[in-house]
Amino acid sequence: MKPEYRLHYAPDNASLVIRLVLEELGQPFETVLVDRKAEAQNSAEYRALNPNGLIPVLETPDGALFETAAILLWLAGRHGAMAPAAGSAAYAPFLKWLFFASNTLHADLRILFYPQKYIGTDSAQQDQLQKVLRQRLQAHLANLDRAAADRPGWLGAPQPSVLDYYLACQLRWMALYPAGADRSWFDLSRCPSLQRLCAGLEHRPAVAKAQEAEGLGAAPFTSPAYANPPEGSAT
């Protein structure tokens, strides 16, 4: 029987979050590699699924979905797992931090990783922008670490939420990208609650499957190494 889900992905891109959640939910899915070196994300076929040309896209019985947080929220709602129930007391704080992860944290990371897309190729301007972003990201991490310290059921709990996986992937990327850049600003040990969250996820079967599929290494969140995927190129 053909799986309900089809994930358009590139290794160690935002699609990794969706892969992890699908594995955690135990949902079978097909994968379609988006060859970034060939700029397949800009092809007419891919733009028909996501007119913004961004990864991931998840094809579902309700049509093609894009935007990481939207896919995560849809999956959690459809399967009644990995997020508080809508209308519960925990739902509001979960939502605000999920959208913080998407609209603020992820947005800042994109600018940090690809400054040329936002301000052009002037290296001095890029350096200044990245300096400001690193300071912003340190503040974001401190706020998230405080939020995770009390172990709410939707952040750092024994049973992971979609937000846990989203943040763990973002922490991985902070430790690795952009390649060759200053890494001294980021130290996961300064955020013990987030470090605990990441360490807990590394023992999940879902992570083991993603490690194999995308070549993520032995400790993809707490001690990440650059991906060595069996197909495609990492971000």
pLDDT by residue (tens digit) across 108-161?
999 999 999 999 999 999 999 999 999 999 999 999 999 999 999 999 999 999
pLDDT tens across 27-63, in order? 999 999 999 999 999 999 999 999 999 999 999 999 9
Q: Please provide residue 229's backbone torsions phi and psi, each rounded to the nearest 5 degrees.
A: -75, 150
pLDDT, position 181: 87
Residue 182 has pLDDT above 90, yes or no: no
Looking up residue 133, the CATH number of its domain turns out to be 1.20.1050.10
Judge whether 9 lies within some domain: no
Q: Is the model's pLDDT at 99 over the cut of 80?
A: yes
Q: What is the mean pLDDT of residues 177-192?
A: 93
| Distance (Å, whole) CA 210 – CA 181 | 26
Please indicate, yes or no, if residue 75 is contained in any of the structural domains. Answer: no
Cα–Cα distance for residue pair 192/148, rounded to 1 Å = 9
**What's the pTM?**
0.97
Share of the chain above pLDDT 70, in %: 100
pLDDT at residue number 2: 85
Specify the pLDDT at position 184. Answer: 92
Residue 58 lies in a domain: no
Residue 137: per-residue pLDDT: 98
Is residue 35 classed exposed, middle or buried when 0-12, 13-18 and 19+ CB atoms within 10 A define those classes?
middle
> Is 59 within a domain?
no
User: Per-residue pLDDT for 100 more than 80?
Assistant: yes
Residue 210 near residue 16 (C-beta atoms within 8 A) = yes
Q: Is the pLDDT of residue 235 over 70?
A: no
SS3 63: strand
Q: Which long-range contacts (CB under 8 A, 24 or more apart) does 73-82 make?
A: 73/98, 73/162, 75/18, 75/21, 75/22, 75/25, 75/27, 75/162, 76/161, 76/162, 79/25, 79/27, 81/25, 82/21, 82/24, 82/25, 82/160, 82/161, 82/162
For the chain, what is the domain count? 1
pLDDT band at 96 (very low <50, low <70, confident <90, very high): very high
- Is there a domain that residue 133 lies in? yes
Residue owning tokens 């600003």? 185
Residue 46 lies in a domain: no
pLDDT at res. 183: 87
- Establish if 194 belongs to a structural domain: yes
**Residue 182 forms part of a structural domain:** yes
* Cα-based distances in Å from 69 to 107, 166, 216, 228: 12, 9, 22, 26
| pLDDT class of 233 with cuts at 50, 70, 90 | confident
Identify the domain containing residue 105 by its residue range: 91-203
Indicate if the pLDDT at residue 23 is higher than 80.
yes
